[in-house]
Amino acid sequence: MQIALLGGLVLFVWWLAGNTHENLTERGIRTGFDYLWRPARFPISESIVRYDASDSFFWAYVVGLANTLWLSFLSILFATLLGLVVGLSRRSAHPLLSRFAGTYVTVLRNVPLIVQLLFWYAIATSLFPVPREALNPLPGVFLSIRGVYAPALTLGPGASMLLIVAAFLMVIAIVAGFKVSAGKPLPAKAASVGLFLCVWVVAIVWLSGMLGHPVGLEAPALKGLNFRGGMVLSPEFAAIITGLTIYTSAFIGEIIRGGIDAVEKGQWEGARALGLSERHIMFRIILPQALRIIVPPMTSQYLSTVKNTTLAVAVGYPELGLVVNTVINQTGQAIESILIMLAVFLSISLSVSAFMNWYNARVALVVR
């Protein structure tokens, strides 16, 4: 029976592919993946991996994918932390806090994400002045409509060695501080760790001087029409990350609250009878049990978040969807591009889901 079903499916896909190919040929539309290696020629406004317009279409997809993963990772991380706060706030005994969290959840869950993104983008592009009148709250930090610019680390030759040695020496300094002051009260411990850290700073400055100061700070500067150099947080990225985090946190907050509420009341009563503090009860007894209930719905929430990153096109952040749109327009190879996007999102979703299933199996109640 199953074999027949599988055979039928294979035949169906074969039939679809055959027809598609025949129809495409008939309409004179090019097919195939050889366009992947031609230069893309279109710009991508920002990326976490290097991209140049002379790179290939394939590399443009990689750049889009890297941006998608980076965006997904950050928004899932921030939304989970914020969601935990929201979920706990909603259960708070303080009426102001729980009402506020309740309003937060209701409003954010009922306004479409795309509307929220455009809202955040409008704020991001109207909050700050034009570059020439940029705010300069700290030396080297500029706030303007083009984004937030800050000094960036510049690494010269020998920089990686210096950084590794510095990190290693810092660990030694802290450990040595604790060893020396073993058995003494806390103020003495802190003083001795502080002393060793002072020695560490002197040593690092001396070492850096020996190597010719390979690590430096490059401050952004207004050159021509825009700031150059330094790190930048663009309004597009700020809008999408804020929007996604806040929207998702409302759902995650509800999942966490639901998970906590589902833990039996007897657990609270028992823990209180033992004289544990409320904080201890929550983090040591209730949350670990709630986790078993939380993980499965959380998995689908994470998957939705990954898929929601494609809405970033609305505010001009170049994630995979935007790159795919552009490639379709430049090459006309819609089917190939959409197939690649399907394959990529399927792989991401399956990976997230596999990881969460593994985690779920770990935290699940072991039934003997």
Whose Cβ is closer to other proteins: residue 27's or residue 362's? 27
> Whole-number minimum distance, CB 310 to other proteins, in Å?
4
> Whole-number minimum distance, CB 21 to other proteins, in Å?
9
Q: Which secondary structure element, helix H or strand E, spans residue 226, and what is its range? A: strand 226-228
Residues 174-233 that bind other proteins (CB under 8 A): 223-226, 228
Q: How many helices (H) and strands (E) does the chain have?
A: 12, 8
Q: Does 125 bind other proteins (CB under 8 A)?
A: yes
Q: Does 16 bind other proteins (CB under 8 A)?
A: yes
Q: Residue 152 corresponds to which tokens in the numbers above?
A: 């960036």
Whose Cβ is closer to other proteins: residue 145's or residue 282's? 145
Residues 307-366 that bind other proteins (CB under 8 A): 310-311, 313-316, 318, 321-322, 324-326, 328-332, 334-335, 337-338, 341
Tokens 């995650």, located at residue: 252
Whose Cβ is closer to other proteins: residue 139's or residue 224's? 224
Distance spanning both ends of the chain, measured CA to CA: 35
> Whole-number minimum distance, CB 223 to other proteins, in Å?
6
Whose Cβ is closer to other proteins: residue 98's or residue 226's? 226
> Whole-number minimum distance, CB 124 to other proteins, in Å?
9
Candidates 198, 233, 215, 219; CA nearest to 162 is 215
How many residues of this chain interact with other proteins, rule: CB under 8 A? 57
Residues 281-310 that bind other proteins (CB under 8 A): 310
Give the span between the Cα atoms of 262 and 288, in whole angstroms. 12
> Whole-number minimum distance, CB 149 to other proteins, in Å?
13
Please write down the long-range contacts of 293-300, taking CB distance under 8 Å and 24 or more positions apart.
293/258, 293/259, 293/262, 293/263, 294/255, 294/256, 294/258, 294/259, 295/356, 295/359, 295/360, 295/363, 296/356, 296/360, 297/255, 297/258, 298/252, 298/255, 298/356, 299/352, 299/353, 299/356, 299/357, 299/360
Give the span between the Cα atoms of 79 and 109, in whole angstroms. 14
> Whole-number minimum distance, CB 249 to other proteins, in Å?
23
Query: Where does this chain touch other proteins (CB under 8 A) — which range of 115-123, 170-178, 195-203, 209-217?
Result: 115-123
Whose Cβ is closer to other proteins: residue 299's or residue 337's? 337
- 85: exposed, middle or buried (Cβ count in 10 Å: 0-12, 13-18, 19+): middle
Determine phi and psi for 195, rounding to 5 degrees: -60, -45
Q: Residue 324 corresponds to which tokens in the numbers above?
A: 């795919």
Residues 45-64 that bind other proteins (CB under 8 A): 45, 53
> Whole-number minimum distance, CB 340 to other proteins, in Å?
11
Q: Which residues of 177-213 are buried (b: 16+ CB within 10 A; e: fewer)?
A: beeebeeeeeeebeebbeebeeebeeebeeebeeeee
Whose Cβ is closer to other proteins: residue 313's or residue 352's? 313
Query: Where does this chain touch other proteins (CB under 8 A) — which range of 28-36, 82-90, 189-197, 253-261?
Result: 28-36
Q: Does 165 bind other proteins (CB under 8 A)?
A: no
Angle at Cα 267 formed by Cα 266 and Cα 270, nearest 5°?
80
Q: Residue 286 corresponds to which tokens in the numbers above?
A: 């209730």
The single residue among 19, 103, 160, 277 that binds other proteins, judged by CB under 8 A, is 19
Whose Cβ is closer to other proteins: residue 20's or residue 357's? 20
Candidates 305, 313, 318, 311; CA nearest to 348 is 305
**Interface contacts to other proteins, rule CB under 8 A:** 16-17, 19-20, 22-24, 26-30, 41-45, 53, 114, 118, 121-122, 125-126, 130, 145-146, 223-226, 228, 234-236, 310-311, 313-316, 318, 321-322, 324-326, 328-332, 334-335, 337-338, 341
